[in-house]
């Protein structure tokens, strides 16, 4: 089978390309850029701008299944500061990919949505319950990025209902791991914390955004890829969470990474920086019931691998002696 991975130059997309190749498929990657940290294993890789209709058609042409991961995205600071640009770029990409897939006879397409679609009113305090898929409505998602992801889910639903374009939808909850961005403003909290800890000396102080009591759950990249493949191969067309139900505070995340690094560090809090919702955690009951998927990598094991990789990259760059 010939598969397309849009966003194949990004963190999750690059890992997905590697897994699909390992599974024996013919893989086409498409993105604005090649993977940053290692060469792609795609059979073909097209450097394209999927905001352009002709580029989307070129990428999709001849592919039977499409894994649509391409998006303008980043950590909380990035998605808070560039809302108009994110909505404009992602709406163009999503609609172009849908139109190309409909017009060129794609048999199945998977859309990667986000936990940012969930309402802020369900994530306001430390006692917030884990989020189920049906909790997305009544809607009040993350401004900008979250709204675009939510109405894009509906676009995929409408194309399925009106044009019989067979689709699947997954909602990612804080995916992390090696080969992901760890600096520059688009990194997520696990990578940012790993970088800060790696650059600090024992006894140093590191900056934490907010008061450190924000709650999140995190899913390691290998488990995420397993979940994507299981959902793509099942018959369920509605949104499904991919994440874990283990909730930790940012303070606890820092402590885990510090222990991995063998360092004792002080925390300096900056309440002026973007913090996101107070508490977000994934209910994974549905995906367990549908396909028997449950994350198998512990947070500690995933962070160990991620930290060692980021530490190694910083050493190669001469930022750690």
SS (H, E, C) the chain: CEEEEECCCCHHHHHHHHHHHHCCCEEEEEECCCCCCCCCCCCEEEECCCCCHHHHHHHHCCCCEEEECCCCCCCHHHHHHCHHHHHHHHHHHHHHHHHHHHHCCCCEEEEEEEHHHCCHHHCCCCCCCCECHHHHCCCCCCCCHHHHHHHHHHHHHHHHHHHCCCEEEEEECCEECCCCCCCCCCCCHHHHHHHHHHHCCCCCEEEEECCCCCEEECEEHHHHHHHHHHHHCCCCCCEEEECCCCEEEHHHHHHHHHHHHCCCCEEEEECCCCCCCCECCECCHHHHHHHCCCCCCCHHHHHHHHHHHHHHHHHHCCCCC
Domain edges within the chain: 2-175+220-242, 177-217+246-280+296-316
The string of pLDDT tens digits covering residues 283-318 is 999 999 999 999 999 999 999 999 999 999 999 999
The string of pLDDT tens digits covering residues 237-259 is 999 999 998 999 999 999 999 99
The string of pLDDT tens digits covering residues 271-288 is 999 888 999 999 999 999
Q: What is the mean pLDDT of residues 196-225?
A: 96
CA 168, 174, 179, 180 torsion: positive or negative? Answer: positive
Q: Residue 182's pLDDT band (boundaries 50, 70, 90)?
A: very high
- Which pLDDT score, from 0 to 100, does residue 127 have? 85
- Which pLDDT score, from 0 to 100, does residue 254 have? 98
- Which pLDDT score, from 0 to 100, does residue 75 have? 87
pTM over 0.95, yes/no: yes
**pLDDT higher at 128 or 27:** 27
pLDDT at 196 over 90: yes
Q: What is the mean pLDDT of residues 101-105?
A: 97
pLDDT at 143 over 90: yes
Could you give the percent of the chain with pLDDT greater than 70? 100
- Which pLDDT score, from 0 to 100, does residue 126 have? 86
Could you give the percent of the chain with pLDDT greater than 90? 95
- Looking at the annotation, which residues are catalytic? 145
pLDDT at 152 over 90: yes
What is the CATH architecture assignment of 2-175+220-242?
Answer: 3-Layer(aba) Sandwich (3.40)
CB 67 within 8 A of CB 30: no
Q: Residue 90's pLDDT band (boundaries 50, 70, 90)?
A: very high
CATH entry 3.90.25.10 includes domain 177-217+246-280+296-316: yes
Residues pairing with 172 in the sheet: 114, 242
């Amino acid at each position: 089978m010939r598969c397309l991975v849009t966003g194949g130059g990004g963190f999750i997309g690059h890992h997905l390309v590697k897994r699909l190749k390992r599974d024996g498929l013919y893989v086409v990657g498409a993105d604005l850029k090649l993977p940053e940290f290692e060469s792609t294993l795609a059979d073909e890789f097209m450097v394209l701008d999927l905001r352009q209709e002709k580029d989307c058609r070129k990428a999709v042409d001849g592919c039977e299944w499409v894994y649509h991961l391409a998006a303008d995205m980043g950590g909380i600071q990035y998605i808070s500061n560039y809302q108009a640009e994110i909505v404009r770029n992602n709406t163009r990409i999503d609609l172009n990919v849908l139109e190309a897939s409909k017009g060129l006879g794609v048999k199945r397409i998977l859309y990667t949505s986000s936990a940012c679609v969930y309402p802020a009113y369900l994530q306001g305090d430390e006692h917030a319950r884990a989020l189920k898929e049906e909790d997305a409505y009544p809607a009040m998602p993350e401004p900008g990025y979250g709204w675009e992801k939510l109405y894009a889910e509906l676009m995929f639903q409408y194309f399925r209902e009106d044009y019989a374009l067979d689709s699947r939808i997954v909602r990612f909850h804080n995916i992390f791991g090696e080969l992901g961005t760890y600096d520059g403003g688009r990194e997520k909290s696990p990578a940012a914390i790993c970088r800060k800890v790696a650059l600090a000396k024992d006894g140093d102080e590191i900056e934490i955004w907010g008061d450190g009591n924000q709650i999140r759950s995190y899913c390691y990249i290998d488990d995420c890829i397993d979940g994507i493949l299981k959902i793509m191969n099942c018959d369920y067309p509605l949104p499904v969470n991919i994440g874990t139900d283990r909730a930790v505070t940012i303070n606890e995340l820092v402590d885990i990474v510090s222990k991995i690094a063998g360092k004792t560090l002080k925390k300096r809090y900056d309440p002026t920086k973007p913090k996101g919702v107070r508490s977000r955690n994934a209910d994974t009951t549905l995906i367990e019931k549908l396909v028997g998927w449950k994350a198998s990598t512990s947070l500690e094991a995933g962070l160990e691998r991620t930290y060692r990789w980021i530490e190694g990259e910083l050493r190669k760059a001469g930022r750690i002696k």
